[in-house]
Amino acid sequence: MDNNRGTRNQYLNPHLETPVRLPDDLIREAGSTILFMVLDGLGGTTDPARGLTELQSARTPVLDGLAARSEAGLIVPVLPGVTPGSGPGHFALFGYDPVENNIGRGVLEAAGIAFPLQEGDIAIRVNFATVDGKGLILDRRAGRIPTEECERLCAILSNVVDLPGVETFIRPVKEHRAAIVLRAPGEGLDEGVTDTDPQLTGVPPLSPTADRPEAEKVAVLLRELLNQAVAPLSEAGDPAYYPLLRGIARYRVYPSMRERFGLRSLAVATYPMYKGISRLLGMDVHEGAGNLADQLEVVRNRWDEYDFFFVHYKATDARGEDRDFDAKVTAIETADTALADFLALEPEVTVVTGDHSTPALMGEHSWHTVPVLLASGTARHSGMECFDEISCARQGTLGTFPAEQLMGLVLGHAGRLNKFGA
């Protein structure tokens, strides 16, 4: 894994001949508070009809004013040209190598609902789909069934699935999404099994297949699970339901933000997956916040309890995936308005960025760099008039750099790093 990390850093900066890690003995305690706001999928691309990106089109007086007295630039979530998932995108933002620590969606889903994962568990994300009488997929998300229906389907499966030598846990997540966890301590369950979701309709689900010999046991177990699930799920709905298995991954323990950076961290997110990422990194997670107003109230009420507040905003990504340019512009403007109230809490360091770009023109995650601003009392003022992708590229004092290196800058501005060397 170190070779991967070194290669990645060399690609971004040819002067780095060996991997560079933040030495543990640099970390020190300080009284500073960090506000880390992630506008999911923030980056966009230029719309040919408008000649602007979504961020350029949005009215963002708070972000623009903050950018003028901040350091700004562009971050590369993984590698130039590589489109990141949300997991790697966030891991990098929090200072964890996204290649070395790549984690499957199943683990993120299970952690997102606070399932008590144990080292060696195999976690799987489930999408309940609908299929026709020939077993061909009609809808990969079953019409986004309500969570109550998902709970009913999980209860049915929990009553019928019995895998030899393995504890099986089946839990609802949200709408059509569920999680399955396989546990067999000492049995050496391993990841490396393909998804069964073909990402298409009008075709049959795929069969779980091992990519390597060590994963064959899990592949066999999952084929048996599907055999046991088909009949009861067929009877549970019209059209019939079918569980598509995705993100099959083995859980391992990660060093926490407290252990690595000395930060008492609170995550305030509205979606389970981002809560899951936060739990994997040892953050405390607040439950129950449904929107930015709720998130602000949580942060305000707990301001004296934590050093690091991760505030996640989903709408920018969701509207980009909807291919709705104007709606993404509105989502950015909503976040800008809310940011003013967060800044009134007077954090010593404020970061605003995204985990990846989700251009409305593309309707999905992309490889484009992501704008970032960092405000603090020790920041070099960029003098930027606008916070957007092009301004960050032309006027940003930080340049373009790996997202994983952002946390070092944050800690430095927060006064949380000792001098290196004599």
pLDDT of residue 101: 87
Spatial separation of the C-alpha atoms in residues 355 and 195, rounded to whole Å = 24
Give the containing element (helix H, strand E) for 235: helix 216-235
pLDDT band for 103, please (50, 70, 90 cuts). Answer: confident
Percent of the chain with pLDDT over 70: 95
Spatial separation of the C-alpha atoms in residues 177 and 113, rounded to whole Å = 11
pLDDT band for 21, please (50, 70, 90 cuts). Answer: low
**Cα angle 177, 179, 182; round to 5:** 160
pLDDT of residue 102: 85
In tens, the pLDDT along 142-198 reads 988 999 999 999 999 999 999 999 999 999 998 999 999 999 987 789 999 999 999
Spell out the residues 6+ positions from residue 326 whose beta carbon is closer than 8 angstroms to its own: none
Which residue matches tokens 């999905």? 364
Domains and CATH numbers, the chain: 2-101+255-413 (3.40.720.10), 108-250 (no CATH)
In tens, the pLDDT along 200-215 reads 999 999 999 999 999 9
Is the pLDDT reported for residue 6 higher than 60? no
Q: What is the pTM of this model?
A: 0.86
